[in-house]
Amino acid sequence: MGRLRRSRVHNARRDVHRASRTRVRTRDLDQIQMLDLDPKRRAELEAQPLDFEKPGLAQHYCVECAKYYETDAALTSHWRSKVHKRRCKQLKEPAYTIEESERAAGLGRAERRQPPTVAVGMQDVET
């Protein structure tokens, strides 16, 4: 009997590589919070002109997930899905800022406490 090879061992590496490609990169949470959830920008995204290059002619767009859908039925079923609800929950949390990352690395100004004020009584000193 011959040697047995381990099969399909590159899955984890392949998935990480595919997720990091910029070709299909999705928008980050902080980008969605700062740009897309603005009421004026949101109205523009929901009422886009016809675009033949995008799925569903760019008429069915989920702003929270930054994703186009083919039909209105697909979009409404997406709104009921766990993936969409999880993304909405993530968007309610405040965005991770640069200052917060610097504080975590030990850089930047630390929040210093005020030293306690001790009332020192004046004693009569005879000189």
**pTM (two decimals):** 0.66
Place of tokens 């040697």: 3
pLDDT tens-digit profile of 1-51? 677 777 766 677 777 888 788 777 888 999 999 999 999 999 999 999 999
Domain chopping of the chain, boundaries: 24-93
pLDDT tens readout for residues 43-83: 999 999 999 999 999 999 999 999 999 999 999 999 999 99
| CATH class of the 24-93 domain in this structure | alpha beta
**Helix runs in the chain, H state only:** 11-20, 29-31, 39-46, 72-79, 82-92, 98-104
